[in-house]
Structure 1
Amino acid sequence: MEVIQVLHMNGSGAGDFSYANNSLLQSKVISMTRPIAEEAINNLYCSTFPTSFTIADLGCSSGPNTLMAVSQLIKTVENSRQKLNKKPIEYQVLLNDLPGNDFNTIFKSLPNFLENLKMEIGGDVGPCLFTGVPGSFYGRLFPSKSVHFIHSSYSLHWLSKVPQGLEESKRNIYLVNASPKRVVKAYYKQFQEDFELFLKCRGEELVKGGSMVLTLLGRRSQDPTSKECCYIWELLALALNDMVSQVFFFQNYIINFPKICC
């Protein structure tokens, strides 16, 4: 089954196990990179003064983080617009994630979001139009030369598919200390192909002079199995292996139970 068909952040609205209530780390990352994004979008606006401004958020997920970044970007543009006494502009916001994303929760929160945004900015803010764009960002998403600013936070480290050549990576779901070099190269090659395709597609979709701010997981160490980025997956693999072992144990127990009784 294709990754695009099954991979998505946990929805369930505002439930205890939803992404919305378990994404504090992602929220902190957006706050940390906020000055960079604000500087980039402000420079873009002040160099072109468009009458309509299109912003795309790739890997938007659902919950408060989705509209947090968008709100910051629009406020930054509006601050400059009002200082320069420019006329109100129209905003087109494109929210992208995989088809299984909980877009319904996002849409339900939009009326309150827009009302609060207008109160914070002022009465002369132009229309803010939102569109959900389901699909993989490892492919075309928007019309050519249509997007002014692209933002993506903590999404691009996810690959488009399982790399080929992982047969030697038994009982593991990612890189570990014992991973053969072939496995490491397989992941590296897949990331190269994905990122090259991503940049190619975005280059076709951005207007001339458009900007992007991309935040993705990285590491300081040259070791690809460093605990900086892989340790959590190693722990998850151990937990999954234990679960599988328990499933096999209970299956064997059920199969042999009638024999024991007899």
Structure 2
Amino acid sequence: MNLGQVHMNGGDGETSYANNSFFQEKAISLTKSIREEAIISLFSETLPRSIAIADLGCSCGPNTLSVISEIIIVVEKFCQELNFSSTEYKIFFNDLSGNDFNSVFKSLDNFKVKLLDEIIKTEMGPCYFFGVPGSFYGRIFPDRSLDFVHSSYSLHWLSKVPEGLDNKGNIYISNTSPSNVVKAYYKQFQKDFSIFLKCRAEELVEGGRMVLTIIGRRNNDPCDTEYLCDDWEVLATALNDMVLQGFIKEDQVNNFNIPHYYPSPYEVELEVLNEGSFVINRIELFETDISASSDKSDFDSESKMSRLLLCDKIGYNVARCMRAILEPLLVSHFGEAIIEDIFNRYLEILIDQKPKERKNSVNVTISLTRKG
């Protein structure tokens, strides 16, 4: 599997990440207060004349700039309240080299105009924007060059598929996966997250802040069926059906495993404590409603037809979101010719499910301070 293809669909088309990142948008909204608390704490303690902010796994689309806008507005309002002059901003967008950085930079002019309108201030400090391609499971910035690091919905991606998996018929941890598959995924998460923390500790200034949101789970048991991922089970079903019908080979599915791991709060906290460079300020769990992106205003909840239409709407939204995330990875492994078929089958399975049978996404958010 070519993990160089781990990037979202670029552009602004129907299957682009920019137009299908509503679940990620909801997670960003839910964790806003934690970011505000961290940035105000950082700024009030140091009162920097220049602040360097990095968004790791920034991807592309409106969510990328919304986080940066939110942070700048918080700092500007704080400066106004204390009658301080505005600070200088250095904004770093990081993702793998396949990311659609062009769309991010094309959006910057409109972003600046809207930002000034929201701040309602005649003069704001200069903003400098940089693209930083590369894996965050390694050094990507100079020593002590960052003040604030943000990452949302990125750290569940592993640096690679765990080695030695024998996970036939599955593409992720399942209740039919052997125990060594579960151990291999957890071991890879431990290694990757520890490296991530070590690298950021070297790049952040003393007292620098970091806020991370990771798709996770409540339970400490990754095999608990309540916390197994619906979406991978559905995709595995679609792929295995295609094997039975002769569209793809069985070995292709058996050799395809998703490089994800959804940690519990305990697992996240344990790695932070073991690595030792950060103080944990807060660690919280949030649930993202899978129907959050659906426009329910046209549906009568008492109507059977309305319930069926809502089910279709949810399924359609989930399928589009998954395609925006996974299409490049699936194309690199299975080829482009069968992509439409895969997601048509995926959508059919989702629509057959009842909305109440789908589980909400669990998000682990942790706020950290770099030790002195």
* TM-score relative to the length of structure 1: 0.90
48, 67, 82: which one aligns with 2:46: 48
The alpha carbon displacement at 1:240 in A equals: 1.8
User: Is 1:135 aligned with 2:125?
Assistant: no
User: Is 1:187 aligned with 2:185?
Assistant: yes
Cα deviations by residue, 1:76-113 (Å, 9 ceiling, x for unpaired): 01111111111221100001111111111111110000
The alpha carbon displacement at 1:243 in A equals: 2.8
Letter aligned with residue 232 of structure 1: D
72, 75, 84: which one aligns with 2:73: 75
User: Is 1:29 aligned with 2:27?
Assistant: yes
User: Is 1:108 aligned with 2:110?
Assistant: no
Query: Counterpart in 2 of 1:198?
Result: 196
Asked if structure 2 preserves the Cα contact closer than 8 Å seen for 1:93 and 1:131, the reply is yes
1:159-198 equivalence runs, <5 A: 159-166=158-165, 168-198=166-196
When residues 143 and 185 of structure 1 are mapped into structure 2, their CA distance, relative to the original with a 3 A threshold, is: same
Asked if structure 1 preserves the Cα contact closer than 8 Å seen for 2:151 and 2:211, the reply is yes
Query: Counterpart in 1 of 2:347?
Result: none
Whole-Å Cα distance in 2 between the matches of residues 201 and 221 of structure 1? 28
Letter aligned with residue 22 of structure 2: L
Whole-Å Cα distance in 2 between the matches of residues 228 and 114 of structure 1? 41
Whole-Å Cα distance in 2 between the matches of residues 229 and 66 of structure 1? 28
Cα deviations by residue, 1:149-203 (Å, 9 ceiling, x for unpaired): 000011101100010120x201211011011111110000000000000000000
Report 1 or 2 for greater relative contact order, CA contacts < 8 Å, sequence distance ≥ 6: 2
The alpha carbon displacement at 1:8 in A equals: 0.4
The alpha carbon displacement at 1:115 in A equals: 1.2
The alpha carbon displacement at 1:241 in A equals: 2.2
Letter aligned with residue 136 of structure 2: F
Asked if structure 2 preserves the Cα contact closer than 8 Å seen for 1:88 and 1:126, the reply is yes
Letter aligned with residue 212 of structure 1: M
Whole-Å Cα distance in 2 between the matches of residues 131 and 48 of structure 1? 23
Q: CA RMSD in A?
A: 1.5
Cα deviations by residue, 1:128-148 (Å, 9 ceiling, x for unpaired): 111111111101111110000
15, 24, 36: which one aligns with 1:17: 15
With 215-224 and 139-148 compared, the bigger mean Cα shift is at 215-224
Asked if structure 2 preserves the Cα contact closer than 8 Å seen for 1:53 and 1:89, the reply is yes
Asked if structure 2 preserves the Cα contact closer than 8 Å seen for 1:145 and 1:205, the reply is yes
Query: Counterpart in 2 of 1:125?
Result: 124
Letter aligned with residue 172 of structure 1: N
Letter aligned with residue 133 of structure 2: P
Equivalenced residue count is 247
* TM-score relative to the length of structure 2: 0.64
Q: Secondary structure at the match of 1:140?
A: coil
Structure 2: where are the runs of 5+ without partners? 250-372
The alpha carbon displacement at 1:229 in A equals: 4.5
Whole-Å Cα distance in 2 between the matches of residues 171 and 98 of structure 1? 29
Structure 1: where are the runs of 5+ without partners? 251-262
Whole-Å Cα distance in 2 between the matches of residues 151 and 238 of structure 1? 35
Asked if structure 2 preserves the Cα contact closer than 8 Å seen for 1:165 and 1:182, the reply is no
Whole-Å Cα distance in 1 between the matches of residues 237 and 131 of structure 2? 37
Whole-Å Cα distance in 2 between the matches of residues 249 and 201 of structure 1? 40
Whole-Å Cα distance in 2 between the matches of residues 249 and 55 of structure 1? 45
The alpha carbon displacement at 1:7 in A equals: 0.7
With 186-195 and 240-249 compared, the bigger mean Cα shift is at 240-249
Letter aligned with residue 9 of structure 1: M
Q: Secondary structure at the match of 2:186?
A: helix
